[in-house]
Chains A and B, each alone.
Chain A
């Protein structure tokens, strides 16, 4: 068997390129979930929400937020530094129109150590919601929310340093219905 240095230079060049390319791809992907395997559900769903916004579009959108408007200024701050926002939401007319394997394909990507489940809510009436975080040391590098209901399947994937507190407070602003959740009181030392 030939050693590495006995290979033709062209082969070495190709291998080096492949290594570089894979490194670039891995870095670019980050805590992004592959949602392509849910696309077939769009044909069964009565309503579909498909949002794919990469870093370029986020920056583009941030430019048109009106900073004089408090709500928009708040959202502009929230999205600063984000690498991407990806949403797939399917609403069905009948119960269980999607297969368990569809949900499993998402859950399979949300495993430790890359992801950490911080919340798991199970409700027979309102469905299940799971919240996952991707951490790099103390910093949040990604968020995933998986909502599974009999007639709805929603996955939200935010890539980048998302501020959960600000994101949670968004409800009630910009036409979002306020569900009556009281914001936790700030500690004195945080003020």
Chain B
């Protein structure tokens, strides 16, 4: 056996060595340019994540908005019910039930008794109410809540003040040219 061949490939190779070289030579390193694999499914999945997050955020925000609107309208209805709660008659003056009266109708103040809105709310929560029967039964009278009366008073006070100031300004500028406020209001 020629050992020089094993050392520096000089001289005659041994047939077995040559055979081994032929067999294993197919597996030797062959230089070639780097080829990156195409986008894997995992990366594609990751690419969807931000869009998924945005869509989820929009959905959650939309849901929150709907809930908020529901709560708002629910609160409004509750207040309307507080304005027109079930009739409470004073012992001094009894009101005869009228079939023509509507829930919107306001009775004179001497015939009504102020009702506690909170107590009404609590009663609504704990007592079963047949709403369909309530709807069929005409309401006898409505009692404006304290909050509504206070709001009305404040509203009138604010409008009085606004009207007074506007009239003062109008009085000062009113001349041959006419009413400037009115003219401004007619824009468009």
Contact = CB atoms under 8 A, between A and B. Distances in A.
Contacts of A59: 76, 79
A138 interface: yes
Interface in B58-86: 58, 60-61, 64-65, 68, 75-76, 79-80, 83-84
Interface string A1-31: 0001101010011001100100010000000
Nearest to B145: A60
Interface stretch (B2-10, B126-134, B173-181): B173-181
A147 interface: yes
B161 to A, nearest CB: 6
Interface stretch (B12-20, B21-29, B164-172): B164-172
B156 interface: yes
A4 B147 CA distance: 49
B165 A119 contact: no
B159 A179 contact: no
Interface in B113-131: none
B158 A165 contact: no
A78 B159 contact: yes
B101 interface: no
Interface residues of B, number: 58
Contacts, number: 180
Given A129-B172, A131-B169, A154-B165, A65 B152 contact: yes
B155 to A, nearest CB: 5
Contacts of B145: 60
Contacts of B79: 56, 59-60
A16 B62 CA distance: 11
A89 B164 CA distance: 13
A43 interface: no
B53 A61 contact: no
A126 B165 CA distance: 11
B101 to A, nearest CB: 14
A42 interface: no
Interface in A98-117: none
B174 to A, nearest CB: 7
A49 B157 CA distance: 9
Contacts of B58: 16
Dominant SS at the A interface?
Answer: mixed
A181 B151 contact: no
A168 interface: yes
Contacts of A7: 50
Contacts of A9: 49-50, 52-53, 56
A61 B151 contact: yes
B34 interface: no
Interface string A65-100: 110000000010011000001110100000000000
Nearest to B80: A63
Nearest to B181: A164
B90 interface: no
B181 A63 contact: no
A25 B152 CA distance: 26
Interface string A156-190: 10100001110111110011110111001000000
A121 B151 contact: no
Interface of A: 4-5, 7, 9, 12-13, 16-17, 20, 24, 49, 51, 53, 56-61, 63-66, 75, 78-79, 85-87, 89, 118-119, 121, 123, 126, 129, 131, 133, 135, 137-140, 143, 145, 147, 154, 156, 158, 163-165, 167-171, 174-177, 179-181, 184
